[in-house]
Amino acid sequence: MPNRTVFFVSDGTGITAETFGNSILAQFSTKHRHVRRPFIDTPEKARQILEEINTTVATEGQRPIVFITLIDEEARRLVHDNANALVLDMFQSFVEPLESELGIKSNHRVGRFSDVAKSQEYHDRIEAINFSLAHDDGQSARNLDSADVILVGVSRSGKTPTSLYLAMQHGVKAANYPLIPEDFERDCLPSMLEPYKRKCFGLTIDADRLSQIRNERRPGSKYAALSNCRYEINEAERLMKRAGISWLSSTHKSIEEIATTILRDIRPDRLIY
Amino acid sequence: MPNRTVFFVSDGTGITAETFGNSILAQFSTKHRHVRRPFIDTPEKARQILEEINTTVATEGQRPIVFITLIDEEARRLVHDNANALVLDMFQSFVEPLESELGIKSNHRVGRFSDVAKSQEYHDRIEAINFSLAHDDGQSARNLDSADVILVGVSRSGKTPTSLYLAMQHGVKAANYPLIPEDFERDCLPSMLEPYKRKCFGLTIDADRLSQIRNERRPGSKYAALSNCRYEINEAERLMKRAGISWLSSTHKSIEEIATTILRDIRPDRLIY
């Protein structure tokens, strides 16, 4: 039974619920149509969504799947009790067992992001983004001592998106520094990295994949040639090995997976807080 | 009963489970210690975590709260059945009702990110990050016609982190363009934006907050003075109003909330896919 419509109905952005819901739906090989309905924070708005859901049943001939994260009890009940759908109540399913475990009532606070813009953690994330931008691609050697991590690797190995992700999601000040042909000729790491070897982390990549990525930018160039990619990767791995820098391959990993591995290796404290 | 330890045990990065779990825990005003344990993808690793959990009970005198997203059935059962803890099984709670609704079995696929690095969607995200970086802070007018959205606003109103977030999370090509004193003196939008007014979206901010943010960068400057911030914000809002550009205030909003609002207004299709 493929092609259901899946609603994500949230009083906040719905991003968290949607991402988590999608990882559950990925357990099924069916294709769905996804509809995110954020900021549903009043019973009136809930009523509109309810109508949209029930109209879907009529037009599609199948009932939709509805993930809800609604704190407002009236809005929640409206959708939960009246939708002609499989309603999966993502909050309620866990809030009730937690209430009885902790022996306290939940406070029905709407959204994980309420007032977040004023918090220290949020401030640190914004600062980290600014830092990572200013230290992208070896742009600046200033304040490298305040970096949490310095990513190194050949051009297009994934340093920039990983640095930005580390900053944005984890508040980690991530600089990144390219290893370039001049470094391989001199046969040593860029001198400005020497004092910071302990916080360097390397990214490498399969030569085939690198060549493919570089060819999208500069088709047919020496830069993108498979032989040159092989050479650069070999040299980079040799330099990193000699300097005692650990590295991982980004070939089959998403930036989320790369970032988590780096945190675990370089800043395991960031996994405990 | 505050100060429980909360474990997030996942066979993938655990990021999704952790983010979602934290939004549930935010319903309680208690403080917890958070431990993320990613990449637990074998029964052996599950056994180690089980030991860590049960040791925690002994040292803390309270049983921990354990969120699990484990697809491997043996690993899942090990933790679920043997942990001296409140185990909240985030996958199983929803997979079972979905199986019976869809009339099919789940495929026990591990991780939402499996092979993601090869997918078109992932490729588009990386492209969007590169685009947003190249078009940060009005750096380039090239290819502005391929932008999905162009954020405009005064310096430090939140354009850069929002652009990067839109790119990274939603694969949206988000350029950003500052409105500066010269624009206010000429009393019109930067000329390169004229052809693209329809895809512009404005960010504004309270003068007090802007002055505070700017003072962190350049303490005591004219740039950061409250009177100057007021002037710039008034002028920017006047220009945007005249050009018919919608805007929102970033003062009390996180980048996640700003991004979701922009998507809903400019690219509502991105909320349905």
Categorize the per-residue pLDDT at A118 as very low, low, confident or very high, splitting at 50, 70 and 90: low
pLDDT for position B112: 45
Indicate if the pLDDT at residue A178 is higher than 80: yes
pLDDT for position B1: 45
Confirm or reject CATH 3.40.50 for domain A5-102, answering yes or no: yes
CA distance A258 to B195: 39
For residue B260 the two structure tokens come to 């979701």
Of the ranges A99-103, A123-127, B212-216, the best mean pLDDT one: B212-216
Distances (CA, A) of B8 to A26, B11, B68: 20, 10, 6
Domains A5-102 and A117-271 share a fold: yes
Residue range A44-59: average pLDDT?
Answer: 94
Q: What's the CATH fold of domain B116-271?
A: Rossmann fold (3.40.50)
Residue in A with minimal Cα distance to B88: A94
Decide: A183 and A189 in contact? Cβ < 8 Å.
yes
Categorize the per-residue pLDDT at A37 as very low, low, confident or very high, splitting at 50, 70 and 90: very high
Indicate if the pLDDT at residue A112 is higher than 60: no
Residue range A203-208: average pLDDT?
Answer: 97
Does B104 contact A at CB distance below 8 Å? yes
Cross-strand partners of A68: A9, A89
% of residues, chain A, pLDDT over 70: 93
pLDDT for position A110: 52
CB contacts of B136 in chain A (<8 Å) are 133
User: pLDDT tens, position by position, for chain B (273 residues)?
Assistant: 457 999 999 988 888 788 888 888 888 878 888 898 998 989 999 999 999 999 999 999 999 999 998 888 899 999 999 999 999 998 888 888 888 888 888 876 654 444 566 688 888 899 999 999 999 998 888 889 999 999 999 999 999 999 999 999 889 999 999 999 999 999 999 999 999 999 999 999 999 999 999 999 899 999 999 999 999 999 999 999 999 999 999 998 889 889 988 988 876 666 666
pLDDT for position A182: 95
Categorize the per-residue pLDDT at A113 as very low, low, confident or very high, splitting at 50, 70 and 90: very low
**Sequential DSSP letters for B165-210:** HHHHHH---EEEEE--HHHHHHTS--GGGGGGGGGEEEEE--HHHH
How do the domains of chain A map onto residue ranges? 5-102, 117-271
pLDDT for position A23: 80
Residue B8, judged by CB atoms within 10 A of its CB (0-12, 13-18, 19+), counts as buried
pLDDT for position B139: 87
Decide: B68 and B6 in contact? Cβ < 8 Å.
no
Q: Do A23 and B14 touch (CB under 8 A)?
A: no
Decide: A105 and B237 in contact? Cβ < 8 Å.
no
> What count of CB pairs under 8 Å joins A to B?
205
Q: Do B86 and A109 touch (CB under 8 A)?
A: no
CA distance A66 to A69: 10
Closest to A150 measured CA to CA, from A192, A96, A122, A108 = A192
pLDDT for position B260: 87
Mean pLDDT, all residues of chain A: 89
Q: How far apart are the first and last CA of chain B?
A: 43
Residue in A with minimal Cα distance to B100: A86
Smallest CA–CA distance, residue B240 to chain A, in Å, is: 24
Q: What's the CATH fold of domain A117-271?
A: Rossmann fold (3.40.50)
Decide: A187 and A210 in contact? Cβ < 8 Å.
no
The residue with greater pLDDT, B68 or A2, is B68
